[in-house]
Structure 1
């Protein structure tokens, strides 16, 4: 079943800017993701599920590790960047994880990054994932905490605009019934699901402009300018100032935190 969900803020984004944004996210966040995935013991022969595959970097990386004796199923509501030649042990499904029908208890490892934050009834999505996890299987969830964002060093006018845009981001998520601070609640959510926690990482980088997470958030602001302005918390000048701030290597800010939880299903 292919489901369109208006809660996903990038659903109507144009191909070229969105692909570049996803590839920049991969460059910034993949190293930490790979480290956490390897902590599960990921190895040859495993069957893995990648939820929200984006531009496919983690999907392809896992496929290389599990080899021909294993396989990776990648599911995303938007598979436009997963077309073309892919590894032979990869299966791509254009589906909504909440309604995905796959064999129960069939995966050794499930991974989702920046997925649940876009789903109002994320508990349904998580329950569906866990139903497909083998007894003793592993799950890695990575979600943002946008409440951690704040501008720290920069021109006073730009600082003011950045903080206004930060408030617009929170309001946009709230207006859609989404939890903008979902990341910090992940450990408790996993505990309530009966999962055994292996690790909890809270990455809250203090970043200067011009690269990394600052560039990711600038790209998001450019694509979501109308949505931010519609909240009434920011205007066009604020968006322009935010992008200028995020481009300037002399500025410093926390753009958001990312919480990663590695947990194991009961055997």
Structure 2
């Protein structure tokens, strides 16, 4: 799926400083962070690691990584829009300064499609969540991320996948979410089918110990997933209606369902894939000879 207008995620499609957008990012983190943390924990992320968090958003995973790598490690958190993370750091700055074991954290405004590699690399871990599927040049960017790994370093990629919608039996909810998917594809080039090719893209780049898992949260009961999708639909509503992908009646019905404590369904899944770069040396992660 290609972008028809050459827009990016933060060009007024999603992203930005609005309070609702910060709430949306926080809800997304509430839904996704436990699975992300479990995978990173299982992969052995620990003290002394140097980690790159691509598309850091509100910074929840970057902050978790900073705590995990400890005083001997380092985390670089990048995004085109670093204001949400900077505001979060400012708001909890006093507490963070007195938290034992909090490793150094660098926040960097960075375009993963074109900017030079962060100078703190190469990295023991490169993690990107909900980034590559929104980039038409995702395959080239994946090449870049792999090249930023140290020998034996680990890449973790997380992307949305639309397949749960295909069996949805609620017409309004399915039409609204289909419209959301279509408008993102038309504006910024999102491909919600790309994750179904996992883990092949990682194997094709020479990574080993490749694995994958799928996170499929229940959306409903006014939970964090329902809030996230309601705010996303609301943000994209004008673009959806302008393209006649769904009318106000359909969107109103879907939003009412998402606010209904008795509603439960499946929206998008998250596919996580990981692999390790060839270990050309015998260094352990985090070692800097």
CA deviation vs aligned residue, 1:84-134 (integer Å, no higher than 9, x gap): 347660111111112232349610001111111111111122111111101
CA distance in structure 2 between the partners assigned to 1:151 and 1:225 by the alignment: 23
Task: Report deviation, 1:230.
Answer: 2.9
1:66 corresponds to = 69
User: How far apart, in 1, do the equivalents of 2:185 and 2:45 lie?
Assistant: 36
Q: Is the 2:180–2:240 contact (alpha carbons within 8 Å) kept by the matching residues of 1?
A: yes
Q: Which residue of 1 aligns with 2:250?
A: 238
**Root mean square deviation of aligned Cα:** 2.1
Consecutive unaligned residues in structure 2, runs of 5 or more: 1-5, 97-101, 280-289
Cα separation, 2, equivalents of 1:100 and 1:74: 14
Poorly superposed stretches of 4+, deviation over 6 Å: none
The 1:210/1:22 distance shift into structure 2, 3 A limit, reads same
For 2:131, the equivalent position in structure 1 comes to 115
Alignment check: 8 A CA contact 1:105 1:135 kept:
no
> Normalising by the residue count of structure 1, what TM-score does the alignment of the two structures yield?
0.89
Contact kept? 2:15, 2:21, Cα under 8 Å: no
Counterparts of 1:231 and 1:266, CA distance in 2: 47
Aligned equivalent of 2:237, options 225, 245, 258: 225
Q: What's the CA shift string for 1:174-196, capped at 9, x where partnerless?
A: 32433122222231111211212
The two structures have a TM-score, normalised by structure 2, of 0.82
CA contact under 8 A between 1:53 and 1:75: conserved in structure 2? yes
Cα distance in structure 2, aligned partners of 1:105 and 1:92: 14
Partner of 1:156: none
Q: What is residue 128 of structure 1 aligned with on the other side?
A: 144
Residue 199 of structure 1: CA displacement?
2.4
What is the CA-CA distance between 1:48 and the residue it aligns to?
Answer: 0.2
Contact (CA 8 Å) 2:24, 2:231: kept in 1 or not?
yes
Q: C-alpha distance in 2, partners of 1:266/1:12?
A: 36
Does structure 2 conserve the Cα–Cα contact (< 8 Å) formed by 1:147 and 1:170?
no
Q: Contact 1:191 / 1:197 at 8 angstroms: preserved in 2?
A: no
Alpha-carbon distance between aligned partners in 1 of 2:173 and 2:39, rounded to the nearest angstrom: 31
